[in-house]
Amino acid sequence: MKIVITGVTRGLGRALTEEFIRGGHTVIGCGRSGDAIFDLRMTHLAPHDFSVVDVALDTKVAIWAAKVLENDAAPDLLINNAAIMNRLAPVWEQDDREFTKLVDANIRGVQNVIRHFVPAMVAQKKGVIVNFSSGWGRSVAPEVGPYCMSKWAIEGLTKALAEELPEGMAAVPVNPGVIDTDMLRSAWADGAASYPKADAWAKKAAPFILQLGAKDNGKSLSVGGDES
């Protein structure tokens, strides 16, 4: 299976990348850290491929997608994983610059990737698009208002996309659950260690994601098994 995934340089994206490759799948990934991308390139040679791309920049995503699709088929599985967390504070204290940066990464970044990869998938009338949501895309909590907003947006965007896809395809908003990652530690350093590590999570998440198909189109799912 050919898998395209964003945000592969750390956390869930890196763990999923390693797990998919162990399973014999081809992974095409991107991330913002040049050092981490170089490491992935040296560790996992062709047909795997990794590029430095900021998904918030539409022109960069366009160039990356054109390169990926130029001489190969569209992905069987497209995973929008890249996202950032806001600084913990009430909504009225969220800085405009930080708020805009979060919107660019968490919402516009997902749309940029959809814009440049999904047309090739639609042309072939096959493939699954997984957009990572969150428990906070279906509920809320204080001091994470911008992050909640962005993940509620992902739920709506994905469900609308699901209505537009040809029969046989699927767009699925997936809540990965709470995992001990750098992003979680940046917000809750004291509590993050009580949650599963990304590598352990990926061993359960990878097979869950790989079995998604047309039957799941438009459903809000969770790696833990909840559905709505």
Q: Strands, E, within 32-91: which ranges? A: 49-52, 77-80
Q: Which of 50, 136, 147, 201 is catalytic?
A: 147
Residue of 18, 183, 3 whose CA lies nearest to 77: 3
> What span, in angstroms and rounded, lies between the C-alpha atoms of 185 and 60?
29
- State the DSSP H helix or E strand holding residue 43, giving kind and residue range, or none if neither: helix 34-43
Residue of 15, 62, 59 whose CA lies nearest to 40: 15
Annotation marks residue 147 as catalytic = yes
| Burial category of 152 from C-beta neighbours within 10 Å (exposed 0-12, middle 13-18, buried 19 and up) | middle
- Enter the tokens of residue 92: 């009225």
Q: Quick check: 76 and 3 in contact, CB under 8 A?
A: yes
Residue of 132, 170, 130 whose CA lies nearest to 151: 132
- With H, G, I as helix, E, B as strand and everything else as coil, classify residue 157: helix
Annotated catalytic sites, by residue? Answer: 147
